[in-house]
């Protein structure tokens, strides 16, 4: 079976995804880690490898040993004008933010990047996170408790809220038609009010009239990305996202996950819409696989425990990873988001060693063929839902 070209993204998170990555000899200092040059350097490294997009992680580090972090959307805004082709996708929670603010933030990023913005949706289920904001209370549940009926009820509630949140954001992105800003100096008319629309969303969690204060952005609808591990978030991604990130731990699990998401997509009335499904890997890469394994073990020792992840962990050579990506793409995945174990080492290995391996097999581009993130991922610019249909 021949495999079409695959998509590749990189997930940027501080000094790397391993909790001890900041202790590596190559790791930058704390001052550099919280400076704009470091983040711009990482995004440019990813762009040099022709990757489709980078995600920038965000969250609220509360557990012992967790490292502080910067705001992902502000990092994205800083690096966007200084890059040319790669998509830039910050992580923003739906649980502790207002959709009006998110719509404005991502639309502004789409302008700053000239059409390369996306949004990675995230929910926050921890009681301690909610306490940081003081707007709501969440039950105190451990990771193990999330599989219980109480935990599943909470997950269901949070993802239902996330679906409403995304729907409000999408409507706000369309609340200005293309061409609504006319800037007629002679008459003094700046906006064509016939092309501004109230969205009039009313639900159990949000009641938003709109319109946005930001004109429709270059992509019209920036892409929405969602990470999903089980049925409830699978259904959310199928209903609300353009790119679903999934975490099968072996190739045999892929077909079932893809089938479940596609069925949920059809049930949501989106069977004819484009929805890409990416697999996830945390990667430790060296040409000599023994060196990659030894490096991960050294990091584990520094952290005081073996590294565990929601995604499969790969430690080996770029060639062996290329074999695995090819096999997993044959099983039904459209692409992959790779999480570098340590930066810059593993990000460089992706762009300088893995990408050439995939190119040699005809599985990855040799140049950027589009200037927007939608174009890179094969999405057309959508019609505005509020604009009158144009008769053929």
Burial class (CB in 10 A: 0-12, 13-18, 19+), 134: exposed
- 164 belongs to a structural domain: no
Is a pLDDT exceeding 70 seen at residue 228?
A: yes
Q: What is the pLDDT of residue 195?
A: 93
Q: What is the pLDDT of residue 391?
A: 44
Is a pLDDT exceeding 60 seen at residue 128?
A: yes
240-276 pLDDT per residue, tens: 999 999 999 999 999 999 999 999 999 999 999 999 9
28-83 pLDDT per residue, tens: 988 899 999 999 999 999 999 999 999 999 987 666 556 788 999 999 999 999 99
pTM of the model: 0.94
292-351 pLDDT per residue, tens: 999 999 999 999 999 999 999 999 999 999 999 999 999 999 999 999 999 999 999 999
Query: Looking at per-residue confidence, does 76 or 149 come out higher?
Result: 76
- 59 belongs to a structural domain: yes
Is a pLDDT exceeding 90 seen at residue 108?
A: yes
- 107 belongs to a structural domain: yes
Query: Which tokens sit at 377?
Result: 């991922």
Mean pLDDT to the nearest integer, 374-382:
98
Q: What is the pLDDT of residue 64?
A: 58
Is a pLDDT exceeding 60 seen at residue 1?
A: no
Domain of 117 in residue numbering reads as 7-125+217-376
Q: What is the pLDDT of residue 67?
A: 73
- 175 belongs to a structural domain: no
Residues contacting 344, CB < 8 A, separation 6+: 26, 41, 42, 45
Mean pLDDT to the nearest integer, 151-180:
94
- 384 belongs to a structural domain: no
Q: What is the largest CA-CA distance in the chain?
A: 72
* CATH code at position 357: 3.20.20.30
Question: Model confidence at 364, in pLDDT bands (50, 70, 90)?
Answer: very high
Residues contacting 373, CB < 8 A, separation 6+: 52, 53, 87, 88, 89, 115, 116, 117, 118, 219, 222, 223
Q: What is the pLDDT of residue 65?
A: 59
Q: What is the pLDDT of residue 254?
A: 98
Is a pLDDT exceeding 70 seen at residue 392?
A: no
Mean pLDDT to the nearest integer, 7-11:
98
Is a pLDDT exceeding 70 seen at residue 370?
A: yes
H/E stretch holding 330: helix 318-330
Distance CA 82, CA 51 (A): 16
Q: How many distinct structural domains can be found in the chain?
A: 1
- 144 belongs to a structural domain: no
Query: Looking at per-residue confidence, does 262 or 134 come out higher?
Result: 262
Q: Which spans in 35-90 are helix H?
A: 36-48, 72-79
Q: What is the pLDDT of residue 390?
A: 56
- 32 belongs to a structural domain: yes
Query: Which tokens sit at 276?
Result: 């890409």
Alpha carbon distances (Å) from 371 to 82, 155, 375: 14, 37, 7
- Quote the mean pLDDT of the chain: 93
- Residue 47, Ramachandran bin (φ over 0: left; ψ between -120 and 50: alpha; else beta): alpha
Distance CA 6, CA 267 (A): 26
- 346 belongs to a structural domain: yes
């Amino acid at each position: 079976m021949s495999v079409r070209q695959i998509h590749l993204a990189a997930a940027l998170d501080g000094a790397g995804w391993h909790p001890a990555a900041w202790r590596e000899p190559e790791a930058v200092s704390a001052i550099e880690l919280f400076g704009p040059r470091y983040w711009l350097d990482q995004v440019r490294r990813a762009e040099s490898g022709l990757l489709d997009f980078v995600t920038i992680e965000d969250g609220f580090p509360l557990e012992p040993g967790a490292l502080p972090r910067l705001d992902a959307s502000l990092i994205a805004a800083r690096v966007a004008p200084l890059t040319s082709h790669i998509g830039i996708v910050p992580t923003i929670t739906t649980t502790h933010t207002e959709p009006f603010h998110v719509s404005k933030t991502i639309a502004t990023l789409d302008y700053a990047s000239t059409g390369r913005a996306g949004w990675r949706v995230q929910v926050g289920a921890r009681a301690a996170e909610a306490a940081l904001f003081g707007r709501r209370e969440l039950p105190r549940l451990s990771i193990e408790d999330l599989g219980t009926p109480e935990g599943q009820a909470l997950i269901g509630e949070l993802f239902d809220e996330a679906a409403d949140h995304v729907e409000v954001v999408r409507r706000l992105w369309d609340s200005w038609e293309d061409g609504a800003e006319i800037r007629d100096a002679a008459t003094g008319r700046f906006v064509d009010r016939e092309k501004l629309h109230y969205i009039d969303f009313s639900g159990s969690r949000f009641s938003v009239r709109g319109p946005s204060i930001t004109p429709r952005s270059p992509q019209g609808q920036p892409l929405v990305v969602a990470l999903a591990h089980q049925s409830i978030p699978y259904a959310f991604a199928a209903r609300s996202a353009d790119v679903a990130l999934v975490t099968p731990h072996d190739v045999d699990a892929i077909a079932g996950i893809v089938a479940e998401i596609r069925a949920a997509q059809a049930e949501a009335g989106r069977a004819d819409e484009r929805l890409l499904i990416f697999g996830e890997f945390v990667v430790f890469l060296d040409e000599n696989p023994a060196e990659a394994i030894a490096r991960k073990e050294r990091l584990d020792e520094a952290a005081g425990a073996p590294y565990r992840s929601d995604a499969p962990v790969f430690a080996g050579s770029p060639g062996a990873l290329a074999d695995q990506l090819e096999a997993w793409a044959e099983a039904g995945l459209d692409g992959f988001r790779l999480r570098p174990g340590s930066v810059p080492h593993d990000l460089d290995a992706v762009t300088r060693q893995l990408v050439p391996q995939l190119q040699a097999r005809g599985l990855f581009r040799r140049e950027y063929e589009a200037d927007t993130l939608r174009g890179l991922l094969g999405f057309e610019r959508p019609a505005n839902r509020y604009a009158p249909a144009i008769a053929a």
